[in-house]
Amino acid sequence: MKLVSLFLTALLTENIILTKFLGLCPLMGNSKREGHAYKMGLLVVLTTVLSSIICYLFYYHILVPTETTHLRTLVFIFTIASIVGTLEILIKKYFPSLYKSMGLYIPLITTNCAVLGVSILTIDHAFSFLETFVYAIGSSMGFLLVIYVFSTLRIKMDQAPILKGFKGTPIAFITLGIIALLFTRYGL
């Protein structure tokens, strides 16, 4: 039951985008079309889960025993970059149409602070290996949920009669802010 609660918390009530504001760049950059949003969300799920597991293992089996935990962020960034680079090569080789449609955005997952944030949060909360796995799935699925839902809203906003100065990115940020308020403890 604790793992289900952890998953739902990571997915909804402590959504990585809406409560911690991590991952805003890929959210804004890839939410203009549903297809791109969904594909980016899936890539973030895969990257987050893999990197969280590998970072957990590095931290507890290499950094802690060697008393080099101060290198955590550097090791985590290197791990994420390695995973994204490997995924990019595999996607380019085995899924060329996906690579063609996502090309430039795949390496940008490396700089997605949500991916790094999840790995750091699992260590900061002293999660077990299984809890790390569940939290990574919940957090990244929360990212996927928000980016996909937000993409459907942006499509509707592009067709709505919005004042010229608010069209595009300004109304997108305003809408995201309103949605985020719903997820804060001190919101409405």
Q: How many domains does the chain have?
A: 1
Q: Supply the mean pLDDT for the chain.
A: 89
Residues 6+ apart with CB under 8 A from 169: 28
Domain for residue 27, yes or no? Answer: yes
Please state, for a pLDDT cut of 70, what percent of the chain lies above it: 97
Whole-number Cα distances in Å, 86 to 22, 47, 111: 23, 10, 15
Q: Which helix (H) or strand (E) holds 75?
A: helix 72-94
For 21, phi then psi, to 5°, come to 55, 35
Map tokens 């004042």 to a residue.
Answer: 163
pLDDT digits (tens, 9 = 90+) for 3-35: 999 999 999 888 999 888 888 888 887 778 888
Q: Show the tokens assigned to 136.
A: 């990574």
Q: What is the pTM assigned to this prediction? A: 0.88
**Residue 8: domain span:** 2-183
- The residue ranking higher by pLDDT, 163 or 112, is 163
Residue 67 included in any domain: yes
Q: Which two tokens stand for residue 53?
A: 């597991």
**Euclidean distance between CA atoms 62 and 178, whole angstroms:** 42
CA-to-CA distance for 17 and 107, rounded, in angstroms?
20
